[in-house]
Amino acid sequence: MKDDRRVKLGVMDSLLKMMEEEKLFLDRDISAERMAAKCSCTTNEFRRIVLEETGFTPEKIIETYREQHTGYSK
């Protein structure tokens, strides 16, 4: 259980770094697959952790960051 929590925290820390520091949301080709690879986990594991921890899909998080960055909302 501890290891699972550690993995989740690692993925969430990486996600925050990718969005806030690296600004990967600006890359039009960014995908959950590429983000998962940067976290050293499978795409399914990445998607599950992000959804469990945030309630959003990786794609929704990327979209939200893009909207906040441009001030545009669909």
Confidence of residue 71 (pLDDT cuts 50, 70, 90): confident
Considering only residues 32 and 70, tell me which one the structure prediction assigns the higher pLDDT. 32
pLDDT at 54 over 60: yes
What's residue 2's pLDDT?
53
Confidence of residue 1 (pLDDT cuts 50, 70, 90): very low
Q: Where exactly are the structural domains of the chain?
A: 2-70
What's residue 73's pLDDT?
57
pLDDT at 70 over 90: no
SS3 string of the chain? CHHHHHHHHHHHHHHHHHHHCCCHHHCCCCCHHHHHHHCCCCHHHHHHHHHHHHCCCHHHHHHHHHHHHHCCCC
